[in-house]
């Protein structure tokens, strides 16, 4: 349960484009809250809310130096999120491989030179020109 909560916090933090932008900026090195707010156009209180979410996920650490709050990438890593994503990717690849095999088996059963009766389902019936009338 604790791991799940940490994973939830990480994905929640990464779900917002502003927070992803903050992380990208901090990957180049520490920055003050003011420096982070400038390109986003957010107010300092608005940006601090994003910083708090990132701090709760351990993705960002802040330190107050005089009147300036400096932010840097936090001690948390994204290994757990990376492992979860990789497990999901492998699961979906296996599902798609099974689907592909099923489609290939069905294509091998389809009569040559024409569509199977299933392929004709939903096709419009032939138009009877005599009943249609001329327009």
d(CA 58, CA 132): 71
- Please tell me the predicted confidence (pLDDT) of residue 125: 52
Is the model's pTM score more than 0.85?
no
Ranges of each domain in the chain: 2-73, 78-108
CATH code of the region 2-73: 1.10.10.10
Report strand pairing: 60-65 vs 68-73.
Answer: antiparallel
- Please tell me the predicted confidence (pLDDT) of residue 82: 87
Q: Listing from the earlier edge strand, what are the strands of the sheet with 60-65?
A: 31-32, 68-73, 60-65
CA distances from 59 to 27, 117, 127 (A): 11, 56, 65
Question: What's the DSSP call for residue 119?
Answer: T
Low-confidence ranges of the chain (pLDDT < 50): 117-121, 129, 131-135
């Amino acid at each position: 349960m604790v791991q799940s909560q940490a994973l939830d916090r990480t994905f929640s933090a990464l779900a917002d484009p502003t927070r992803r932008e903050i992380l990208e900026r901090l990957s180049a090195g520490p920055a003050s809250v003011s420096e982070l707010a400038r390109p986003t156009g957010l107010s300092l209180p608005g940006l601090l809310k994003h910083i708090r979410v990132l701090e709760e996920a351990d993705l960002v650490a802040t330190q107050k130096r005089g009147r300036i709050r400096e932010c840097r990438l936090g001690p948390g890593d994204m290994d757990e999120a990376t492992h979860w994503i990789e497990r999901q990717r492998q699961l979906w690849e296996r599902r798609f491989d099974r689907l592909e095999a099923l489609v290939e088996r069905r294509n091998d059963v389809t009569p040559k030179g024409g569509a199977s009766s299933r392929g004709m389902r939903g096709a419009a019936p032939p138009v009877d020109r005599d009943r249609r009338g001329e327009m």
